[in-house]
Amino acid sequence: MSDSFELLVLGVGDAFSETYNHTSFVVMSGGFRLLIDAPEPLPKILREAGDSCGVRVTLDEIDDVVITHLHADHVSGFETYCYHKKYHQGRLGTAHTSPEVAEVLWDQRLRGAMGVTTDVATGKVSHNRPEDYYRLRVLDYGHENAIGPFQVSTRRAIHPIPTIGLVIRLGDVSLGYSCDTAYDPEHIAWLSGCDMILHETGEGLHASITRLAELPGEIRRKLWLVHYRDDHDTGRSPIQCLRQGCLYTVAKRPNGVAKVQCA
């Protein structure tokens, strides 16, 4: 049984951040690299994170992608991922997402940019299909889904559009991610068994820090804030804040972290 895996933090900001990259991560084990959401500018934020912690991960090295929902701050870089895999590496990437997102990903998000291409030399027009650019795998609710060495479970979050939270398990170690959601005790209970929990925060439709700070100590000790506003004082935060550009080792510890590596 594995006792750890790595979490590279690409961004921790909300959709309107001028300070941070949009919230996204890479989870890694045994050479497999799984991207959790894909904001733009994806190659740049991968490089910045690598420069910060000394562990570079390029688009070439990203294996699969999990798309939690279709808001731009979570999926705008997926087009770049697809183009890079197809035209730079000569292979198709693989996307994993919920049944609801899988149903509309191409028609409502990608077709306008990727559905038709014109050969600039010959003028020939090609009408493309999703399978010309990526393989799509549906993450079923109610059981674990294998992605590389990881087992991934999903649960619907409370958000204006279909959105999923994640539990990512390797052996007996697990990482939970609320994704974008209103404060939801049932969602938190689902995440509570994880060794490390990443929970979003924000205003309006998002979970407030005040409510999260009222959670029991055994959960709060494992909780790390993401998706926070630029004006959030991370030094005085009642809940510890995940740091952009850091590499965390997810393990069985009181706060789910065995080691942090960053500049």
The Cα-based distances of 53 to 8, 65, 158, 197 in angstroms read 9, 22, 33, 21
> Predicted confidence band at 28 (pLDDT cuts at 50, 70, 90)?
very high
pLDDT tens string 171-191: 999 999 999 999 999 999 999
What does pTM read for this prediction? 0.96
pLDDT tens string 91-142: 999 999 999 999 999 999 999 999 999 999 999 999 999 999 999 999 999 8
Q: Residue 263: is its pLDDT beyond 80?
A: no
> Predicted confidence band at 1 (pLDDT cuts at 50, 70, 90)?
low
Instruction: Tell me the three state secondary structure of residue 255.
Output: coil
Determine the pLDDT at residue 204.
82
Q: Is the dihedral of CA 230, 235, 238, 239 positive or negative?
A: positive
Determine the pLDDT at residue 22.
98
What DSSP letter does each residue of 75-106 carry, written as one string?
HTTHHHHHHIIIIISSS-EEEEE-HHHHHHHI
Domains with residue ranges and CATH for the chain: 4-261 (3.60.15.10)
Percent of the chain predicted with pLDDT > 70:
100
d(CA 186, CA 247): 29
> Which residue in 195, 168, 201, 197 sits closest to 182, CA to CA?
201
Q: How many CB atoms lie within 10 A of CB 91?
A: 9
- Structure tokens, 137: 């795998």
Q: What is the mean pLDDT of residues 8-25?
A: 97
> Predicted confidence band at 213 (pLDDT cuts at 50, 70, 90)?
very high
- Structure tokens, 210: 């005040």
- Structure tokens, 3: 């006792």
Core vs surface per residue 15-52: b (16+ CB within 10 A) or e: eebeebbbbbbbbbbeebbbbbbbbbebeebbebbbeb
Q: What is the mean pLDDT of residues 79-96?
A: 97
pLDDT tens string 41-56: 999 999 999 999 999 9
Please give the mean pLDDT across all residues of the chain.
96
Instruction: Tell me the three state secondary structure of residue 160.
Output: coil
Q: How many CB atoms lie within 10 A of CB 114?
A: 19
